């Protein structure tokens, strides 16, 4: 294996994110890449992105593991947890030890702790006055996230946010809202496609997602297009 | 170009909106019958005539409900059409046959209303003259019955349940929908309806049924209710 430094890997990540931001990119694919970079490059065990939906609630749109346990934890976090706090206060929220103050967010803290997650770092996806969601980094170890990792995570989150919001100013103001909403609605057909693959090949939901993701990458197609074809029976994997 | 009465009837049915009282009418448009009725009964829904094209069609249902026997009961029990081309020469039902002879009804064709494993009810078609239906006409009646089944089931579910709103439970339901559509070879819409109907039948939240599907405790078989035609 070729040794590359952490910094070089980060440069690659930025370059690839920038590539993703060309005209006609799919927001969901961009966010999926973002969580995967966080997982691969930073000292975190799982990462997820939550976007604000039509009713103003946060909804998981991308995560490093599609296992339902992780998604449920993040959704609890979105109802009452560091993720929601980061979104409403528009600031970074760091929880170095979940078990220290369980009563603050009891449902989230207990469920996360039971699944082996012990520290959380939530970053708002924000550009000036606009916050579209949050990036959630979770670790199995206790303690603060390293200084370099914090800066890298914020930079990755900023690039993605600027990319998304930049598109908005280029087109008209309602477009980005539609686009974010579309990313969330794409989740419906992606969940259905996971079910199709899980049933056809007797796989877990997480493994089913990996297969769909792998195909989308290999064919350079967006996740939602692949998912739609699977659900319509036009594609078999 | 000739007008296909079956197509006209199918279109009328899909355009019926939420008007359940009109569900029986499309059947008389393309089949050689005098009247039609649509009723719910069986293990899932209470016994009730939902739609009837005339008073005699209503009476055909009423007699079968009162006597607890007749073609509609047999159609649902056997999950297949029951054809009685001439009551003058038939002795199929000891109580219903003599009763229906008083009613100027010569023939009855009953088609089951089902959705997957679920019993919805039956369609009763009657004719005042003896005669039967061709295999093609039976097939068309079954296709239309399948549409009626979905309409009745959706209606019953929407009356009875409140939607579940958490984003996480919706995710599970979408995953389960994908598994069920792969199991039964249906559309996503039908797979969703199957889960919804199962939850309704078992009086459980959809999320619980979805979890059972994902954990492979519940499986659905073929959804082939329109494939069988008994001549």
Identify whether B227 is part of a domain: no
Query: Do residues B94 and B186 share a domain?
Result: no
Q: Which of A75, A188, A189 sits opposite B168 (nearest CB)?
A: A75
CATH number, domain containing residue B188: 1.10.10.10
pLDDT band at B219 (very low <50, low <70, confident <90, very high): very high
Nearest one of A91, A109, A113, A93 to A101, comparing CA atoms: A109
Q: Which of B164, B166, B168 to mutate to test the interface with A (most CBs of A within 10 A)?
A: B168
Query: Do residues B91 and B188 share a domain?
Result: no
Identify whether B228 is part of a domain: no
Q: What is the pLDDT of residue A30?
A: 84
Range of the domain at B50: 5-159
CATH number, domain containing residue A81: 3.30.450.40
Query: Do residues B53 and B125 share a domain?
Result: yes
Q: What is the pLDDT of residue A91?
A: 92
State the Cα–Cα distance between residues B169 and B182, nearest whole angstrom. Answer: 20
Task: Look up residue A96 and give its two tokens.
Answer: 């170095």
Structural domains counted in chain B: 2
Query: Do residues B189 and B97 share a domain?
Result: no
Range of the domain at A53: 6-171
* Most confident residue range from A65-79, B71-85, B136-150, B199-213: B71-85
State the Cα–Cα distance between residues A112 and A135, nearest whole angstrom. Answer: 16
Instruction: Give A196's contacts in chain B (Cβ within 8 Å).
Output: 178-179, 181-182
Instruction: Give the ranges where chain A is alpha helix by DSSP (H).
Output: 6-20, 27-41, 68-79, 82-89, 106-114, 147-170, 173-201, 205-219, 223-231
Q: Which of A57, A71, A196 sits opposite B182 (nearest CB)?
A: A196
Q: Decide if B171 and A68 are in contact by the 8 Å CB cutoff.
A: yes
What ipTM was predicted for this assembly? 0.73
Q: Which of A57, A187, A198 sits opposite B179 (nearest CB)?
A: A198
Task: Look up residue A90 and give its two tokens.
Answer: 């528009």
Instruction: List strand residue ranges (DSSP E) for chain B, in order.
Output: 35-40, 48-52, 82-84, 107-115, 118-127
Query: Do residues B120 and B154 share a domain?
Result: yes
Q: Considering only residues B16 and A190, tell me which one the structure prediction assigns the higher pLDDT.
A: A190
Q: What is the pLDDT of residue A225?
A: 93
Identify whether B230 is part of a domain: no
pLDDT at B161 over 60: yes
Question: Closest approach of chain B CAs to the CA of A131, in angstroms?
Answer: 20
Task: Look up residue B155 and give its two tokens.
Answer: 């209606």
pLDDT means per 10 residues, chain A with 237 residues, are: 65 72 72 89 92 86 86 87 93 93 91 92 88 93 90 86 66 65 86 96 94 93 94 93
Question: Closest approach of chain A CAs to the CA of B221, in angstroms?
Answer: 13
Structural domains counted in chain A: 1
Query: Do residues B182 and B98 share a domain?
Result: no
CB A223 within 8 A of CB A188: no
The H-or-E segment that residue A133 falls in is strand A130-139
Query: Do residues B130 and B209 share a domain?
Result: no
Q: What is the pLDDT of residue B43?
A: 84
Query: Do residues B87 and B29 share a domain?
Result: yes
Instruction: Give B170's contacts in chain A (Cβ within 8 Å).
Output: 188
Task: Look up residue A110 and give its two tokens.
Answer: 């207990």
Identify whether B189 is part of a domain: yes
B42-57 residue pLDDT tens: 888 888 999 999 999 9
Identify whether B134 is part of a domain: yes
Strands A58-63 and A130-139, by their bridges, are: unpaired
Q: What is the pLDDT of residue B90?
A: 82
Q: What percent of chain B has pLDDT over 90?
A: 56
Least confident of A45-59, B85-99, B157-171: B157-171
Nearest one of A154, A81, A145 to A112, comparing CA atoms: A81
Identify whether B225 is part of a domain: no
């Amino acid at each position: 294996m070729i040794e590359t430094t952490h910094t070089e890997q980060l440069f690659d990540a930025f370059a690839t994110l920038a590539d993703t931001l060309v005209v006609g990119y799919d927001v969901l694919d961009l966010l999926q890449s973002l969580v995967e970079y966080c997982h691969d490059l930073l000292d975190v065990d799982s990462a997820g992105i939550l976007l604000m939906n039509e009713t103003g609630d946060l909804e998981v749109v991308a995560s490093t593991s599609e296992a339902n346990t992780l998604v449920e934890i993040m959704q609890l976090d979105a109802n009452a947890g560091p993720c929601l706090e980061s979104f409403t206060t528009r600031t970074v929220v760091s929880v170095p030890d979940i078990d220290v103050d369980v009563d603050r967010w009891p449902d989230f803290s207990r469920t996360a702790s039971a699944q082996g997650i012990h520290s959380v770092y939530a970053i708002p996806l924000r550009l000036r006055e606009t916050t579209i969601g949050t990036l959630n980094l979770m670790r199995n170890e206790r303690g603060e996230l390293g200084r370099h990792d914090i800066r890298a995570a914020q930079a990755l989150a900023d690039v993605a946010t600027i990319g998304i919001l930049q598109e908005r100013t280029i087109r008209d103001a309602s477009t980005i809202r539609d686009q974010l909403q579309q990313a969330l609605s794409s989740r419906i057909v992606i969940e259905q496609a996971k079910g199709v693959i899980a049933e056809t090949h007797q796989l877990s939901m997480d493994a089913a997602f990996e297969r769909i993701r792998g195909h989308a990458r290999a064919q350079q197609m967006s996740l939602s297009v692949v998912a739609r074809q699977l659900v319509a029976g036009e594609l078999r994997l | 170009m000739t007008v296909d009465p079956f197509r006209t009837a199918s279109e009328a049915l899909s355009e019926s909106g939420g008007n359940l009282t009109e569900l029986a009418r499309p059947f008389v448009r393309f089949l050689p019958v005098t009247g039609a009725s649509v009723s719910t009964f069986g293990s899932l829904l209470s016994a009730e005539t939902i739609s009837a094209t005339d008073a005699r069609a209503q009476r055909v249902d009423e007699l079968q409900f009162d006597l607890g026997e007749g073609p509609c009961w047999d159609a649902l029990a056997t999950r297949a059409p029951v054809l009685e081309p001439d009551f003058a020469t038939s002795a199929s039902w000891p109580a219903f046959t003599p009763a229906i002879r008083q009613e100027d009804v010569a023939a009855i064709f009953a088609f089951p209303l089902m959705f997957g494993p679920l019993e919805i009810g039956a369609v009763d078609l009657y004719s005042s003259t003896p005669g039967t239906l061709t295999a093609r006409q039976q097939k068309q009646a079954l296709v239309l019955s399948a549409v009626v089944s979905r309409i009745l089931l959706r209606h019953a579910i929407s009356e009875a349940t409140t939607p579940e709103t958490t984003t996480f439970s919706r995710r599970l339901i979408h995953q389960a929908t994908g598994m069920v559509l792969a199991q039964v070879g249906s559309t996503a819409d039908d797979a969703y309806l199957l889960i919804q109907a199962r939850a309704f039948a078992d009086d459980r939240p959809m999320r619980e049924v979805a979890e059972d599907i994902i954990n492979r405790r519940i499986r659905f078989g073929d959804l082939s209710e329109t494939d069988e035609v008994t001549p």
